[in-house]
Structure 1
Amino acid sequence: MDIRWIEDFLSVASSRSFSRAAEERHISQPSLSRHIQALEHWVGVPLIERRGLPLTLTPEGVLFRDNAEHFLRRLLETRSMLRGEVNPDAHSLRVIAGHSLSVNFVPSWLQTVRQDYSDISVRAVTASINKAIKALSDGSADLLLCYHHTELPVLLDETRYAFLPLGDTVLLPVSAPGLDGRPRYALPGTRQVPVPLISFATGAYLRRAVQYLLDHAGQPYALLRRYESDMSDQAKELVLQGLGMAWLPEMVVSQELAEGRLVRAGGQRWQLPLGIRLYCDLNNRKPALVRLWQHLSGRDLPD
């Protein structure tokens, strides 16, 4: 049995999709399917119910997932400790988040947390939403910080993962201003003159959010994707240079909007409110995590 088979299985269990899991694991879908079949042969029972979409786990698959995640978490923790990569101290927590939250939300949030828990050591890590979910599920991260929208939920099993709302922001269309102070590029654009778009990369949560907004704008639009970026700060810089417009969280561009270096490129219909959520795995009983969760929520971490 290859440990990678377990990692592949956990990725499928988290994403509920062979294609998304294959993309996340950077292997072909046929290779992923062979690994899952080999794991099922080794275990001796089917782990995934393949009829219907999204994929679901068999009862045996649910049991195997829960135990495999615990085993893999302990194995990775032990390996990291032996390599000297992590502090085994019970007061150490690892928070994983997307780039815009890591840069624009995590620092102030951690400062607030440390006012009450100065002895907690926190390491903030940046990752895509898919990699962040995997890190939370395999135990290489203790907390996941991410955006939330009712119609764009993060696919986490609510019986296994708890969440707390930490704040809100708004996804805004922004552009550099022209000489008259109006947006250089304004929505909705036309077929003759489409609006140049600086987009987030495929797989990014904010790209999904923008597409959802466009699908429900209730008005025709014309966009020309000019650049793609994995990072909100990079996208903002391209907008500041006048290379196109982009949808960015308000907290990312609030200073530039106040200074007039950026302006809104569209009205209310082109904006999308987003929540900010903090997730944890209920199977993770690290003392620092249990204590922090109790402080933030005002109640004990559920069993």
Structure 2
Amino acid sequence: MSLEIRWIEDLLALEQENSFSKAAALRHVTQSAFTRRIQNIEYSIGFKILKRYSKNIEFTDAGQILLASSKSIQNQLSTTLHYLEKNIKNDELSVKFAVSHSLTTQFFPKFIHALTEEIEALKLEIIASNLEQGMRLLKDGSCDFLICYCDRNTLQQLDDDLFASRKIFSMEVLPVTINDTRYKQYQLDQHFPLLAYSKHAFLRKCVDEVIVNKLNFRTLYETDNAGDLKALVMQGLGVAWLPRLLVESEIQEAKLRIFDTDQYNFYQDVYIIRSKITSSKKIDYIWNFLAG
């Protein structure tokens, strides 16, 4: 048995119109011809896809599975065409990255420097985003790669047939405050103002698991951007959990203080995710270079 593209279009038309006559008109055939085409699908796969006793258009279990596969194929094709339209002109490929905010300023510049030495005439575009935004950009073909904080449970929500992921490294996330006696010196065993990630940021969930119902705090400020939290900490406004890579120099220069307990530190994995639909020599090389 071989899959015919017109089956996909016929099934989607039937679901959309919920009527044989309207679906036939949409597919530019007579109703009798369209009915025969649906019957041919059933004959070819060996299963009934419509419930005959129903007054309305109602798919059987087999029909629902075939319909879901048809939608998946249509989405893959739409994503591919969207990608080609937006990214490939005159055989010149621009590689787009969606990157978690805190990784754009420290991790990504080092990566770009190493990568540009390996690939000539490489054009990169970077979109700072949280995990939710990055996933959306990846799914609709608006970026080629997503570099983000993530975990296996989140990755399991992605379709393995459409996306691939690899762990790059683990980032230590630390509770820090300003180390300047001109400002109030906060302690974790006392009430303190929290400079927090917004609910859309992946690190918000990670920090909440460490501190909620364990520490006495009030949320003073929320943002997706770890860089903004760092700036507020540097102004003595409170305590924030920040990636070590983002605050390493300030810690070494004693501008920021790490709380002297490992109880509230944690490590968070950083992943690179790509779509399996889009591919080129440059994209494949970057995938192997960064994830290898």
TM over 0.5: yes
Deviates more, 1:229-238 or 1:287-296: 287-296
Residues 205 and 39 of structure 1, relative CA distance in 2, 3 Å threshold: farther
Match of 1:301 in 2: none
> 1:162·1:280 contact (CA, 8 Å) conserved in 2?
yes
Aligned-partner Cα distance in 1 for 2:89–2:16: 34
Aligned-partner Cα distance in 2 for 1:290–1:133: 19
Structure 2's unaligned 5+ residue stretches are 1-11, 19-56
Aligned-partner Cα distance in 2 for 1:145–1:246: 22
> 2:168·2:290 contact (CA, 8 Å) conserved in 1?
no
Match of 2:126 in 1: 124
Q: 1:231 aligns with which of 207, 225, 231?
A: 225
Shift of 1:108: 0.8
Residues 295 and 42 of structure 1, relative CA distance in 2, 3 Å threshold: same
Residues 106 and 240 of structure 1, relative CA distance in 2, 3 Å threshold: same
> 2:272·2:291 contact (CA, 8 Å) conserved in 1?
no
Match of 2:146 in 1: 144
**Paired residue secondary structure (2:263):** helix
Residues 254 and 294 of structure 1, relative CA distance in 2, 3 Å threshold: closer
Shift of 1:87: 5.4
> 2:178·2:233 contact (CA, 8 Å) conserved in 1?
yes
**Paired residue secondary structure (1:134):** helix
Amino acid at match of 1:161: F
**Paired residue secondary structure (1:110):** helix
Residues 66 and 236 of structure 1, relative CA distance in 2, 3 Å threshold: farther
Match of 1:5 in 2: none
1:195 aligns with 2:168: no
1:60 aligns with 2:67: yes
Quote the sequence identity (%).
21
What's the TM-score once normalised by structure 1's chain length?
Answer: 0.69
Larger radius of gyration: 2
Q: 1:257 aligns with which of 251, 259, 279?
A: 251
**Counterparts of residues 238-249 of structure 1 (less than 5 Å):** 238-249=232-243
Shift of 1:71: 1.0
Residues 284 and 76 of structure 1, relative CA distance in 2, 3 Å threshold: closer
What's the TM-score once normalised by structure 2's chain length?
Answer: 0.71
Amino acid at match of 1:188: D
1:42 aligns with 2:16: yes
Residues 257 and 295 of structure 1, relative CA distance in 2, 3 Å threshold: closer
Deviates more, 1:140-149 or 1:251-260: 140-149
**Paired residue secondary structure (2:194):** strand
Shift of 1:187: 1.2
Tell me how many residue pairs correspond in the alignment: 240
**Paired residue secondary structure (2:16):** helix
Residues 293 and 273 of structure 1, relative CA distance in 2, 3 Å threshold: same
Q: Deviations over 1:183-224 (max 9, x none)?
A: 8212133xxxx2110011121111111112235xxx831111
Q: 2:108 aligns with which of 82, 91, 106?
A: 106
Structure 1's unaligned 5+ residue stretches are 1-37, 50-56, 299-303
Amino acid at match of 2:130: S
Match of 1:12 in 2: none
> 1:186·1:266 contact (CA, 8 Å) conserved in 2?
no
**Paired residue secondary structure (1:269):** coil
